[in-house]
């Protein structure tokens, strides 16, 4: 029986990209369905009734939500090609730990650099740098977080390579400085240049427009009344 694989996402969702990358690295054929998040489809509401968010993977009618859950599901379901996690339980645990760290601490600290200004932004830069130092350390002796090739943790942290240069351009502040974070900077380049990643990278100009608009309400709220 032919498999039915569908992915609900948006063009700009960095979480959605994790699922796209996992499916593409595995060579899984799938139908991509772009959602309008201002008018969510009945399919999205039915398949992710708890969070009502993209991405959602639909595999032979079963729905799987949360990007990193999807990445692991894809890895376990299409085992033969391109394993995303090591066979070693300790390595697997580390990859999952840093993936969670990236979402829990990394993303929010970098987002704060983007939306804050003045002293608050300086504090956020300090916090983001402390978090980035851990990731720089994790890359020692490796080309990718997964070792010689892209693995689960690279997909989890792909937003760093994808989003941070856009945010930096908008605010005119360097968050991942080459001198301070040479390994992370080299990784960002290697990751972005990998064929599967490059072909799915959202257009830079479109991201700039989207994130400029996303920042506007934060700037307006900071204006003295």
Which residues contact ligand GSH (rule: CB under 6 A)? 13, 15, 37, 52-55, 66-67
Min dist CB 123 to ligand GSH, Å, is: 25
Q: Pick between residue 66 and residue 72 the one whose CB is nearest to ligand GSH.
A: 66
Q: Pick between residue 101 and residue 181 the one whose CB is nearest to ligand GSH.
A: 101
Min dist CB 52 to ligand GSH, Å, is: 6
**Contact indicator for 146, 157 with CB cutoff of 8 Å:** no
Min dist CB 70 to ligand GSH, Å, is: 7
Min dist CB 2 to ligand GSH, Å, is: 27
Q: Pick between residue 102 and residue 146 the one whose CB is nearest to ligand GSH.
A: 102
Q: Pick between residue 126 and residue 217 the one whose CB is nearest to ligand GSH.
A: 217
Please provide the size of the chain in residues. 225
What angle, 0 to 180 degrees and rounded to 10, lies between the N-to-C axes of helices 204-222 and 158-171? 60
Q: Pick between residue 67 and residue 109 the one whose CB is nearest to ligand GSH.
A: 67
CB-based contacts of 89: which residues, under 8 Å, 6+ apart? none
What angle, 0 to 180 degrees and rounded to 10, lies between the N-to-C axes of helices 204-222 and 107-115? 70
Q: What CA–CA distances, in Å, run from 82 to 90, 114, 122, 180?
A: 19, 35, 41, 32
Min dist CB 177 to ligand GSH, Å, is: 27
CB-based contacts of 134: which residues, under 8 Å, 6+ apart? 98, 101
Tokens of 203: 């257009």
Min dist CB 68 to ligand GSH, Å, is: 6
Tell me the residue number closest to ligand GSH, measured at CB: 53
Q: Pick between residue 37 and residue 93 the one whose CB is nearest to ligand GSH.
A: 37
DSSP string of 135-196, one letter each residue: HHHHTTT-SBTTBSS--HHHHHTHHHHHHHHHHHHHHT--SS-TTT-HHHHHHHHHHHHSHH
């Amino acid at each position: 029986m032919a498999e039915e694989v569908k992915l609900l996402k948006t063009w700009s969702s960095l979480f959605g990209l994790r699922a796209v990358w996992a499916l593409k690295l595995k060579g899984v054929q799938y139908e991509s369905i772009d959602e309008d998040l201002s008018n969510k489809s009945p399919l999205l509401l039915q398949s992710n009734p708890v969070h009502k968010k993209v991405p959602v993977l639909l595999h032979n009618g079963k729905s799987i939500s949360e990007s990193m859950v999807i990445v692991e599901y894809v890895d376990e379901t299409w085992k033969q090609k391109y394993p995303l996690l090591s066979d070693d339980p300790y390595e697997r645990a580390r990859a999952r730990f840093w993936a969670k760290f990236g979402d829990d601490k990394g993303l929010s600290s970098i987002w704060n650099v983007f939306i804050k200004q003045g002293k608050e932004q300086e504090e956020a830069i300090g916090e983001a740098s402390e978090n980035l130092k851990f990731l720089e350390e994790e890359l020692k002796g490796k080309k990718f977080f997964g070792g010689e090739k892209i693995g689960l943790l690279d997909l989890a942290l792909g937003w760093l390579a994808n989003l941070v240069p856009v945010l930096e351009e908008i605010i005119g502040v360097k968050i991942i400085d080459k001198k301070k974070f040479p390994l992370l900077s080299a990784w960002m380049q290697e990751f972005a240049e990998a064929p599967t990643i490059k072909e799915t990278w959202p257009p830079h100009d479109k991201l700039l427009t989207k994130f400029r608009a996303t920042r506007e309400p934060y700037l307006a709220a900071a204006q003295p009344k």
